[in-house]
Structure 1
Amino acid sequence: MAAVRAVGSQPNPLHIYGGRTCNLLMADWWSDRSPLHEAASQGRLLLLRSLVAQGFHVDTLTMDGVSPLHEACLGGHYHCAKFLLESDAKADAASADGATPLFNSCRSGSAACVGLLLQHGASVHSTHQLASPMHEAAKKDHRECLELLLACGAQLDTELPEVGSPLYSACGAGAASCVEMLLLAGADVGVGCGRDSPLHAAVQRGDLGVVELLLDFGANAFYGNSEGRTPLDLSAPNSSVRFALQRRGVWKTFHPSICLLQTGAEQHPLLSAQVRTLCLSCAASASANVLDGVVCTEPPAFPCLPGCKTSSSTTDAPPFVLAADPEM
């Protein structure tokens, strides 16, 4: 039998759904927002206070689990967020896609809201793979937010599936300031996303500044990803990024015919007839004329790089092959 509504009764827009107070006026993601959500998203503190005084629940949720505090933090409205938290709004409320108010604050870059939430016990750790505050702050290049998270115990090298580490996220987005901060804080330059390293991400973006920064901190230009491709392989031909990778990686290459082997060098793992080094002239320009215990003593039999004038040979140079390091 169909339920009969009492004559004159009015539908209550606020219901308990799964133990949570939700606004069910409409079911789509935008129209079911309450006036409380609108006031919070627009930073209208006086209206927010008035609505709460009228009986609106501070943790009223949309069908997607978005609270007024989510909206205030996404807009960077510190005073609205402060009022909601002081009115017992949940600091760690998670939406359907896992976003928390802290994640939204990191997205908007509001360090004030990040600090406020942390003071109210918000967790720096996310239970959702795609909604990590650390990764979001790094990707958006919000350095101050990142510093606050790290000061409260966020992990530097947390690698999430399909997202990677915070450093990888920052490199993929060209967030140079956060890349530098993470590296200075001790982030592992080799932890990326699966077999893709942060250097792979930076090279694919073509960001020379980030590439050189990673190389300064020991990134391996010869590390192959799941397809066996190194950052050098992914660099654009004749680009400044490719030149930087070749110039900075030259110390890892040499050829026995142009080297005086020092003590123990005979057993060097990279000794191979397929591996060549730059000639003295080109190597000196890259500050690499002394290579890991092996000293170049004479010009190569072939030009070492396109345009090299040192070699007396007119024969075309074989393909320039760089030696690969042992896997990291």
Structure 2
Amino acid sequence: MCFRISFSSNMDVKTARPYFFGDIGFWSERTEVHKAAYCGQAFELQNLIQSGASVNIVAVDSITPLHEAAIRGQKECVRLLLDAGAQVDARNVDGSTPLCEACSAGSLDCVRLLLEYGAKVNPALTSRTTSPLHEACMGGNAECVKLVLAKGASLEAYDLYNGTPLHVACANQQLECVRVLLNAGAKVNAARLHETALHHAAKASNAEMIELLVEFGANVYAKDKHEKRPGDYTQPTSSSALLLQLYESDPLSLQQLSRIALRTVLGTRALQVVTKLDLPGRIIRYLCYQ
């Protein structure tokens, strides 16, 4: 719940009623700067800044006004805060930076703006932290995924609880993000506790995702810590189960194997290199699976 902030002639801040942050409840510790940033009240925020309010003051859970603006996609407030000296890589209690919040929210404008001001695409990860790329994949924000990858985001950034960004994208059934990651060179058989992205796709019974992963070389025989293959997590008569049974019984063609080998050799350079080859468009599309 947001409200308007009124200013008297001597710039004293007056509030009409309490501020509520999402569904969490009343946070008396949050300042007027936090509130204006969260609600997108750029005029009020500018007045607060001009009156000397700190843009780096932290509130509950070490949240800064920049975190508040980023999670809500408040581009103008993000710009005002950054111009006023807000710390672009400030961390909250969970270690998340404003860029993580913007990627989670899917705010491409805020992501772009934070990157322009030097936000790190690969902040150090802790036991409680996910990377901006993980956050973008969780929310299915494919354009944000592309943007942070273009700025050097690590495809294999490893989160203790979620694994790699590819694991996260598959677990959350974000097919377009999976496609972007694979085309960028993500390791399709990377494992967390022996669990691969294909295990996640099988658990979700997502046949289209299963097909995409296998086209990029996913191992249908990989076993997790429970000694189960991806197919063991599907319903016997489902399309996902039938598809995995087909892959297990029918080896990949030489053409498919060649495609996988080429992409493996090229790694993260695959998409850039393949699109520059003097090949027919249908071959390019096949190699890139776009």
Fold conserved (TM > 0.5)?
Answer: yes
Query: Aligned residue for 1:197?
Result: 196
**C-alpha distance in 2, partners of 1:120/1:222?**
45
2:67 aligns with 70
2:99 partner amino acid: L
- Cα contact 1:29–1:63 (8 A) shared by 2: no
Greater RCO, 1 or 2 (C-alpha within 8 Å, sep 6+): 2
Q: How do 1:117-156 and structure 2 match up within 5 A? A: 117-129=114-126, 130-156=129-155
Match of 1:209 in 2: 208
Residues 274-299 of structure 1: CA deviation (Å, up to 9, x unaligned): xxxxxxxxxxxxx98xxx9xxxxxxx
Match of residue 51 from structure 2? 54
Could you give the per-residue CA deviations for residues 67-111 of structure 1, whole angstroms, max 9, x where no partner exists? 111011100011110111011100000001111100000010011
Provide TM-score, normalisation by structure 2: 0.75
Deviation, 1:121, is 0.8
Determine if contact 2:125/2:159 at 8 Å carries over to the other structure: no
Give the aligned partner of residue 113 of structure 1.
110
Contact map agreement 1:78 1:112 (CA 8 A) in 2: yes
Cα deviation for residue 31 of structure 1 reads: 2.2
Q: Alpha-carbon deviation of 1:192? A: 3.3
Q: Is the 8 A contact 1:222 1:230 kept in 2?
A: yes
Identity of aligned residues (%): 36
Structure 1 distance, partners of 2:26, 2:114, is 25
Aligned ranges 1:1-328 → 2 under 5 Å? 30-129=27-126, 130-252=129-251
- CA drift of 1:29 comes to 7.8
User: Counterparts of 2:42 and 2:177 in 1: how far apart (Å)?
Assistant: 32
CA displacement 1:37-90 (0-9 Å, x = unmatched): 110011010000011122210111103110111011100011110111011100
Q: In the alignment, what sits opposite 2:262?
A: none
More helix by share: 2
Task: Say whether the 8 Å CA contact 1:97–1:131 is kept in structure 2.
Answer: no
Alignment CA distance shift 1:155-1:141 (3 Å) = same
CA RMSD of aligned residues (A): 1.7
Equivalent position of 1:325 in the other structure: none
- The answer for unaligned runs of 5 or more in structure 2 is 1-24, 258-290
Structure 2 counterpart SS, 1:187 = coil
- In the TM superposition, residue 131 of structure 1 has moved relative to its aligned partner by 2.8
Structure 1: runs of 5 or more not aligned: 1-27, 253-286, 293-328
Q: State the Cα deviation string for residues 183-241 of structure 1 (Å, max 9, x = none).
A: 11111100132300000011111111111111111111111011110001111121110
| TM, length-normalised to structure 1 | 0.67
Q: Which has the larger radius of gyration?
A: 1
Q: CA deviation at 1:139?
A: 1.5
Residue pair 1:66, 1:94 contacting (<8 A) in 2 also: yes
User: Equivalents in 2 of 1:114, 1:169: separation in Å?
Assistant: 19
Q: Which runs of 4+ in 1 moved over 6 A?
A: none
Please say which of residues 144-153 and 101-110 is displaced more in the overlay.
144-153
Shift of 1:159: 2.1
| Segment of structure 1 superposing worse, 120-129 or 233-242 | 120-129
Using the alignment, how far apart are the partners of 1:63 and 1:240 within structure 2?
47
Measured in 2, the distance between the counterparts of 1:86 and 1:80 equals: 10
What is the SS of the residue equivalent to 1:64?
A: helix
C-alpha distance in 1, partners of 2:197/2:26?
A: 36
Q: CA deviation at 1:138?
A: 1.1
SS of 2:67 mapped into structure 1: helix
